[in-house]
Amino acid sequence: MAPKVYIAGKLYEKADAKISVFDHGLLYGDGVFEGIRSYSGRVFRLASHVDRLFASAAAINLQIPMSRDALAAAVIETLKANGLKDAYIRVVVTRGAGTLGLDPRKTSDPQVIIITDAISLYPEELYEHGLKIVTAATIRSHPNTVNPRVKSLNYLNNILAKMEGARAGCLEALMLNHEGHVAECTGDNVFVVRRGEIHTPSVDSGILEGITREAVIELARAAGYAVIERTMDRYDVHTADECFLTGTAAELIPVVECDDRPIGAGKPGPVFRDLRERFKRLVVEGPES
């Protein structure tokens, strides 16, 4: 089936799915997005993604031209039109086309775009053996610039950090905040395990409040682990017993080395393995859409 892309209420063939070059989403990165996943036709935590999208939009004073329910329904409709069960869903809302110049008042018609695609997974061997990461020199943005809680269309900081990771032969890079504390990776949240307790940077560390992060915190607490959200330093990562990342694409993925230091035993640990299994069960138990 030819892929179909949703733009402003209509489905278009991929080749015809186009928006204006005057759209401020393109000209200035003025817009917000979500990356969502469906498992066997079940969309994982759709309501949470819709809430985060609306919060991101509110933070940049962008009015999404449809209700939360209509947006959620459009996601399901697009998924069905594409005949996809295990899919990656990208929702993008741009400020809309305007004149050249930053002024958002000179734009009109924010565009809601929904793209679905087959999910591209990390190779299973990364889950078996773990990732190496390095700390990037590029920091997460200061909360008084674009707050990292906003999933905006401007990902340049993270892209620059990802390039630093790639230069060091790593698929992910650790980003610090403006105070030098650990924030997160370029597209994943970070967790460490120390003496059986699970620690992760708090929301005020300058992170995106990951939906996988939230699910893993809930799962871990329900399983009896202590989960502590706090200010963390690189020391906490370098000296951890275990480290793993969470995100929509990666789910939970182990980190076995950071900045050339092996983490714990240098291989994925038991807490990671336990939580990964619990997460796998969770994603198939969600409501059918």
Q: Does 242 bind ligand PXG (CB under 6 A)?
A: no
From the list 93, 118, 107, 109, the residue with the least C-alpha distance to 6 is 93
Q: Which amino acid is at 49?
A: H
Q: Give catalytic status of residue 151 as yes or no.
A: yes
Residues in region 73-132 near ligand PXG by CB under 6 A:
90
**8 A C-beta contact, residue 113 and residue 91:** yes
Q: Does 158 bind ligand PXG (CB under 6 A)?
A: yes
Per CB under 6 A, the list member of 53, 199, 248, 255 interacting with ligand PXG is 248
Per CB under 6 A, the list member of 25, 201, 210, 269 interacting with ligand PXG is 210
Q: Does 152 bind ligand PXG (CB under 6 A)?
A: no
Per CB under 6 A, the list member of 247, 264, 268, 269 interacting with ligand PXG is 247
Q: What number of chain residues touch ligand PXG (CB under 6 A)?
A: 16
Per CB under 6 A, the list member of 30, 184, 236, 242 interacting with ligand PXG is 184
CA 52/CA 170 separation, integer angstroms = 29
Structure tokens at 86: 């295990």
CB atoms within 10 A of CB 268: 25
- Measured torsion, CA atoms of residues 164, 170, 176, 181, in degrees rounded to the nearest 10: -150
- b/e string for 125-157 if b means 16 or more Cβ within 10 A? ebbeebbbbbbbebbbbeeeebbbbbbbbbeeb
In this chain, which stretch among 9-17, 60-68, 208-216, 252-260 interacts with ligand PXG, using CB under 6 A? 208-216
Q: Does 25 bind ligand PXG (CB under 6 A)?
A: no
Question: Which is closer to ligand PXG, CB of 20 or CB of 147?
Answer: 147
CA 161/CA 168 separation, integer angstroms = 11
Q: Does 213 bind ligand PXG (CB under 6 A)?
A: yes
Segment holding 25, helix H or strand E: helix 24-28
Q: Does 138 bind ligand PXG (CB under 6 A)?
A: no
Per CB under 6 A, the list member of 84, 174, 208, 275 interacting with ligand PXG is 208
Q: Which residue stretches of 223-287 are H helix?
A: 234-238, 270-285
**8 A C-beta contact, residue 161 and residue 169:** no
How many Cα atoms within 13 Å fall on the side-chain side of residue 81? 20
Q: Does 29 bind ligand PXG (CB under 6 A)?
A: no
Per CB under 6 A, the list member of 25, 31, 187, 269 interacting with ligand PXG is 187
Catalytic residue among 14, 151, 267, 280: 151
- Strand, coil or helix: what is 27? helix
Question: Which is closer to ligand PXG, CB of 35 or CB of 104?
Answer: 35
Question: Which is closer to ligand PXG, CB of 32 or CB of 97?
Answer: 32
Active site residues: 151
Interface residues with ligand PXG (CB under 6 A) are 35, 90, 158, 184, 187-189, 208, 210-213, 246-249
